[in-house]
Structure 1
Amino acid sequence: MFVTTEWFQIFRQNVTLNKFNLSKHKACLK
């Protein structure tokens, strides 16, 4: 499967955002 660098960059940005939102959410729960 061929993956473009553009798609990969977007994917990595989404992963980073998800991790950031998860940590923020956990901080709110505490």
Structure 2
Amino acid sequence: MRKTAIIVGELKSRYSVGRALQQNERTGYI
């Protein structure tokens, strides 16, 4: 159970970071 929770947390953090990068590319802010 703990391993799955950690994996889900990592996926969520990576997804949020990827989304932020996409937003920065759209606005042209790096």
So what's the TM-score if we normalise by structure 1? 0.78
Count of residue correspondences: 26
Identity over aligned pairs, percent: 4
Q: What are the ranges of 5 or more consecutive residues in structure 2 without an aligned counterpart?
A: none
Letter in 2 for 1:27: T
So what's the TM-score if we normalise by structure 2? 0.78
CA apart distance, 1:5: 0.2
